Chain A
Amino acid sequence: MNFPDQQSQHVICLLGITRSYPAGTTLHTILNNVSLSVPAGQSCAIVGTSGSGKSTLLNIIGILDKPTSGQVFLAGEDMSLVSEDARAKVRNQIIGFVFQGFNLLPRLNALDNVALPLLYRGFSRTIARQKAQLQLERVGLSERLYHRPADLSGGQRQRVAIARALVGEPELLLADEPTGNLDHDTAEDIVALLLSLNDKFGTTLLIVTHDEKIADRMERCIRVRDGRVAEDRYAPR
């Protein structure tokens, strides 16, 4: 399949993505022939009502899920062709995830939670912890290094999760409703933190949200409706 040459340089490039699940005798289609590309360094919101397919889109971009048909290019490489091991490596090295439910490992303290991606990359524990500490300091949690997730507030947990997503210095930060479980003020802080990271380090930011106010603060907003891209608009500069 051909695509414009300039798009091959984009960090994300989706071509004709369809995702459907068998539901009883029929096929339930969640994404229907979606194509889009995101250049490096962009901040982009994916909005839509629940059930519109926006989370599935994010999971496919994060290669947690496989499309039924279509191709996913990350950093120019076709992810539908690589092995499960290679997909794990890409998740580790190109992508940082921030989930709505934080998804911290409850039995590890903040420091070890953040160090985990580096350990899978083959770093020694000492170095991984050093880098994790640096990252936790960057998100303002230098006082909470040895707290378990249960001893942290929601906002603090999400900061730990963001530190974990960033510790591997990923090209791409994927956030699925990162403020969904947080109160208004904390949500503001988290969005500001994500945007500042995008601004300072040029990390491509993809954020799934149903909050229009958050979406308005991004450079670009993609609206998904019934499994299709209904609107793709850039914020006025």
Chain B
Amino acid sequence: MRLDSSGVTVLRELHENYGPSWTYLFIEPLENLRLLGRRAVLALLGIAVGCMAVVALLNIGHNARVQAMSVFKGMGSDLLVCSIQPPQGNYTNPPPAVTILNATLLHQTLPNIVSAAPIISMNMDVRLKAHTLNISVVGTNAELARVLDLDLSMGRFVSRYDAHSTYAVLGAKVQSEWRSAGISANVGDWVQIGDYLFEIIGVLKSKGSTPLVPVSPNEAIFLPVESMQRIVPNPQISAVVARHPDSRTLDSGALHLQQWLSTQFPGFDVNVQIPHQLIDGMAQQSRMFSWLLSGLGGISLLVGGIGVMNVMVMNISERRREIGVRMALGARPKDIARLFLLEAVVLATAGAFAGATLGLTASWIFVHYSGWQSFTLSAISLPLGIGSAIVTGLFFGLSPAINASRMSPIKALRDE
């Protein structure tokens, strides 16, 4: 370029389209970092550990919550579970056993409770066609099917007219266990429980169980509660499950049920649990838990960010002369700032993606070996983990980069 007689116009012309091209803008920091070598890897490691912590902790928290929630899944929000236990410490003179729950009286006294079923549960040998299974035998009434939402794959459930019949209903898993032993258990077959033969009148569909309800429907065989007296001398109702659809009066309903049951089971300890409240409590607890975990992740990110700042400050003070040369060759302050900021961001981004991969792997391994259900990805963990790592790099890279751009070229060049 030659200067003509009017140098001013040439200068103006030159002001257009100045500055490095976009591709070069991104290639240069990459190459600089590649040339920086081990030091860049160390800074990257800091960010990666931070991001890994955030991603892993969020995912483990998420999976813990999913696991906890699955325990309660399928259970209505209007369920009441009452446990009935003999008083503690009084072994010499136990109160008389109560085998029958007066459902008619219950519905009269407590109209808000639409269905209620007693549970007497025993582990016993059950024999079908010379094959014996040790499973829990549950005495109950017809309303259990409604309380626990049980569906039948064949036949029917016990009814209120079956009190004096020797009928039995099989859980889904009981039937499949016999099937795997080569025995088909169908409606009309007879099973031997204790000294009695019971006729199978129905088989349940598979249904998830929850530890709050003292029965796992898949692995039990259901009899009318009155029949329990045939196979056990003094069967005692150990629990009552009930449904209370009006959620507004759930608390007082639970209290009334407890009071009424206490009159029906004199001398026993009656406890009513509301699973719905437990779920709420657990959800809140796990929310707090994941905030705590994110906080921990945030602290590790902060440490990683300080690592990035360290590397950038070292990097810039070591490259003062280079900054001076670049300025002498035509780099504007913003070109210098952009160069170092992009180096920090490239470092943080690479660290973030490495960390996210590691974090996912770590949480997958954790979930796998803790024997929880299959791993589910927490949707928010990746954007949150990667995003916060990049923002950290940007934040901590900003001040060194701006300092570098404000250097006077002659001071930077003089640096030995």
Contact = CB atoms under 8 A, between A and B. Distances in A.
Given A105-B325, A119-B24, A91 B330 contact: yes
Given A85-B333, A89-B14, A125-B23, A75 B328 contact: no
Contacts of A86: 15
A76 interface: yes
A76 B8 contact: yes
A52 to B, nearest CB: 17
A9 B5 contact: yes
Interface string A83-126: 01110111111100101000111010000000011011111110
A104 B326 CA distance: 10
A65 interface: yes
B130 interface: no
A169 interface: yes
A120 B7 contact: no
B330 A88 contact: yes
A88 B327 contact: yes
A168 B20 CA distance: 14
Interface string B312-342: 0000000001101111111111110000000
Contact of A88 (B23, B27, B331): B331
Contacts of B330: 88-89, 91-93, 117, 120-121, 168
Interface in B288-334: 321-322, 324-334
B68 interface: no
Interface residues on B, range: 35 or more
B410 interface: yes
Interface in B1-60: 1-3, 5-8, 10-11, 14-15, 17-21, 23-24, 27, 32, 35
A85 B20 contact: no
Given A91-B329, A116-B326, A124-B21, A65 B410 contact: yes
B387 interface: no
Contacts of A105: 322, 325
A236 B14 CA distance: 38
Nearest to A66: B408
Contacts of A90: 11
Given A103-B321, A125-B24, A75 B7 contact: yes
B326 A75 contact: no
A105 B18 CA distance: 22
Nearest to B28: A119
A88 to B, nearest CB: 4
A45 B217 CA distance: 102
B334 A85 contact: yes
B8 A64 contact: no
A97 B23 contact: no
A171 interface: yes
A158 B331 CA distance: 21
A40 interface: yes
Given A64-B413, A116-B326, A107 B32 contact: yes
Contacts of B335: 88, 120
A77 interface: yes
A26 to B, nearest CB: 21
A75 B8 contact: yes
Given A103-B413, A125-B24, A125-B27, A77 B331 contact: no
Contact of B1 (A59, A64, A93): A93
A222 interface: no
B410 A120 contact: no
Nearest to A202: B2
B409 interface: yes
B65 to A, nearest CB: 49
B332 A84 contact: yes
Contacts of B331: 88, 120
B4 to A, nearest CB: 10
A75 B329 contact: no
A224 interface: no
Nearest to A170: B1
A9 B325 CA distance: 29
Nearest to A161: B325
Contacts of B333: 84-85, 88
Contacts of B5: 9
A62 B410 CA distance: 10
Contact of B325 (A40, A59, A103, A121): A103
Those 3 A-B pairs whose CB atoms lie nearest each other, nearest first: A92-B330, A75-B7, A88-B332
Interface of B: 1-3, 5-8, 10-11, 14-15, 17-21, 23-24, 27, 32, 35, 321-322, 324-335, 408-410, 413
Interface of A: 9, 11, 40, 59, 62, 64-65, 75-77, 84-86, 88-94, 97, 99, 103-105, 107, 116-117, 119-125, 164, 168-171, 202
